[in-house]
Amino acid sequence: MAERRHPRRRRRLVLAAVLAVLVTGSVAGVAGMRTLSGRYEDAVDRADLLPPAPARSPGARTEPPKVRGPMNLLLIGSDSRTRGEPGDGRSDVVILVHIPASTGKAYVISIPRDTYVPIATADGGRGSGNKINAAFAWGGAPRLVQTINRFGGITIDWPVIVDFAGIRRITDLVGGVDVTIDKKSVDAYRFLPEDSPYPSAPCTDPQGRPRRCVVFPAGKVHLDGKLAEFYVRQRRGLPADDLDRARRHQQYLRALAEKMAGRNLLTDPRKLDRLVRTAAGMLTVDRRMPVQRLAITLRHLRAQDLIFVTLPIAENRDVPGIGAVMVPDPARCRELFAALRGGRLDEYLREHPPNDVRHGR
Residue of higher predicted confidence among 181 and 41: 181
What is the predicted pLDDT for the residue at 9? 32
Residue type, 155: T
Tens digit of each residue's pLDDT (9 = 90 or more) over 133-158? 999 999 999 999 999 999 999 999 99
Q: Considering the chain, what percentage of its residues have pLDDT values greater than 90?
A: 48
Cβ burial of 331 (10 Å; 0-12, 13-18, 19+) is: exposed
The confidence band for 328, taking pLDDT boundaries of 50, 70 and 90, is very high
What is the predicted pLDDT for the residue at 34? 54
Tens digit of each residue's pLDDT (9 = 90 or more) over 284-320? 889 999 887 887 788 778 888 889 999 999 999 999 9
Give the mean model confidence (pLDDT) for residues 2-30.
Answer: 44
Give the mean model confidence (pLDDT) for residues 187-205.
Answer: 92
Give the mean model confidence (pLDDT) for residues 330-346.
Answer: 98
The confidence band for 187, taking pLDDT boundaries of 50, 70 and 90, is very high
Tens digit of each residue's pLDDT (9 = 90 or more) over 59-111? 666 677 888 889 999 998 875 545 556 545 567 789 999 999 999 899 999 99
What is the predicted pLDDT for the residue at 62? 67
What is the predicted pLDDT for the residue at 253? 85
Give the mean model confidence (pLDDT) for residues 243-253.
Answer: 88
Residue of higher predicted confidence among 260 and 330: 330
What structural domains and CATH numbers belong to the chain?
16-51+66-173+254-351 (3.40.630.190)
Q: How confident is the prediction for the chain on average, in pLDDT?
A: 83
Cα 328 to its chain centre, rounded Å, is: 19
Assess whether pLDDT exceeds 60 at residue 198. yes
| Contact predicate 124/90, CB 8 Å | no
